[in-house]
Homo-oligomer: A and B are copies of this chain.
């Protein structure tokens, strides 16, 4: 746009207009004037040129300027005074003048609840969101985003209005149907689609279980060590959460009853691949746990968080499939297979609980996002989901092997590596004295994220370890990262 510009305002606006942009000029002008007001370039009470003058200066049609002015007026940015012109609106307290919150300051614990205090207790070493060796994060570089976007776009175009409402049925029915089929074949989970509830994440699944099956002050058990976030979610729901030790067969059922304590309402367990130790629960232990649950009337919550990625040929079926007495609630997630930000997970509840859980899901969280759920159903139904799992299974298996070899090469026999039949991480444990916190801090300075095993424990214990995720680190970077990790350890 070349023109003879007569005012600084026109100058400024011209710089923000482009005839080549996809956006109509009217909208560009609207945005440019609004920005000038928000930035304080135009101040309250200031008079604007007439639409005729501005149109001429900007070489726009007068109707373009008038439409932009109309919208700005309707939103309060401009005010027209009859006979005297258009002015920047008063009573526009600029948000730019509000200072940012002091993020560095200590949170005002005295203002907060006790459970907030539990939530805010942070691990000593902060982790980067990706890279070597953040645990629990899948690699999205290989995800077929183009296909996924196409499926979403198709549903968003064809069925937008149809899928724009709330959902009161526990999730999009065709998604629950394909998921029931998938779980049956892949995990030997036995369920009718109406036993499945789609949630916005495993935390929501856990929260729903806690609220439906336990009241504030009720006792619940988790594995020791366990996923810290899961424990926090149950504590925030008012539960008193105790840890139960894990041995080589899984959670120690005979240590669940503690004299003086009431029987727990809920037990959270990770039978496929104990989190974070990686141990699969033995078949005898599974039967023992189910018998305990049945005898005590306890609910077992089975978190099958990453079982899609298993590298042995004969995985044990899900605990849910062994349960003949409706004591197991099965949790799964799409975050590990698809991508973290998707926010779609699910739970499979016993038939007797399904109607109540469906009502509560609606009342507590008011679910929606049906376009996304429909696209996911299409993605699974067309086989893309299974193809992607198969592909990633190969990639992760290779990464695990490379990581295992590098660790064995650089760390002596005093460091013990976990088994590797599944998942997205390995643990490296030691019993000898070692300044683990210092190691993690020095590693962070080198761009390495080392998550300490002690982060996952409620009780202090001799020795320590690292939970090393290989999901989010490229195969070719693993060996160098392990070497760096070793160097930093010795520093």
Contact = CB atoms under 8 A, between A and B. Distances in A.
A382 B211 CA distance: 42
Nearest to A129: B165
Most chain B CB within 10 A, of A113, A164, A232, A341, is at: A341
A277 B42 CA distance: 41
Interface string A366-380: 111111000000000
Interface in A179-229: 180-181, 183-186, 188, 190-195, 200-201, 203-204, 207, 211-218, 229
Contacts of A112: 212-213, 353, 356
A456 interface: no
B185 A77 contact: yes
Contacts of A339: 164-165
Contacts of A31: 381-383
Given A101-B195, A201-B366, A184 B94 contact: yes
Most chain B CB within 10 A, of A27, A193, A236, A387, is at: A236
Interface stretch (A55-63, A154-162, A407-415, A477-485): A154-162
A445 interface: no
A174 interface: no
B356 A343 contact: no
28 contacts: A30-B383, A31-B383, A76-B186, A91-B188, A95-B180, A95-B184, A98-B180, A98-B192, A101-B192, A101-B352, A107-B355, A115-B211, A120-B360, A141-B161, A146-B157, A149-B157, A152-B153, A152-B156, A164-B340, A164-B341, A166-B340, A200-B365, A203-B365, A215-B238, A232-B364, A340-B368, A341-B369, A341-B371
A459 interface: no
Contact of A166 (B74, B341, B359): B341
A119 B363 contact: yes
Given A130-B165, A165-B341, A215 B115 contact: yes
A261 interface: no
A101 B216 contact: no
Interface string A100-115: 1111010110011111
A114 B112 CA distance: 26
A84 interface: no
Given A160-B145, A164-B140, A369 B343 contact: yes
Given A113-B218, A116-B212, A165 B108 contact: no
Contacts of A160: 145, 148-149
Nearest to A122: B359
A181 B95 contact: yes
Given A27-B383, A99-B351, A365-B203, A38 B116 contact: no
A390 interface: yes
A339 to B, nearest CB: 4
A168 B215 CA distance: 29
Given A98-B195, A115-B216, A129-B168, 7 more contacts: A98-B180, A114-B215, A116-B356, A148-B160, A149-B153, A207-B364, A229-B366
The range of chain A's interface size is 35 or more
A75 interface: yes
Contacts of A194: 100-101, 103
Contacts of A406: none
Contacts of A113: 211-215, 218, 265
A233 interface: yes
A242 interface: no
A25 interface: no
A140 B157 contact: no
A46 interface: no
Given A111-B352, A165-B341, A215-B113, A71 B143 contact: no
A75 B195 contact: no
Contact of A367 (B100, B140, B343, B351): B343
A130 B382 CA distance: 32
A249 interface: no
A48 interface: no
Nearest to A109: B356
A386 interface: yes
Contact of A108 (B74, B190, B340, B356): B356
A327 to B, nearest CB: 11
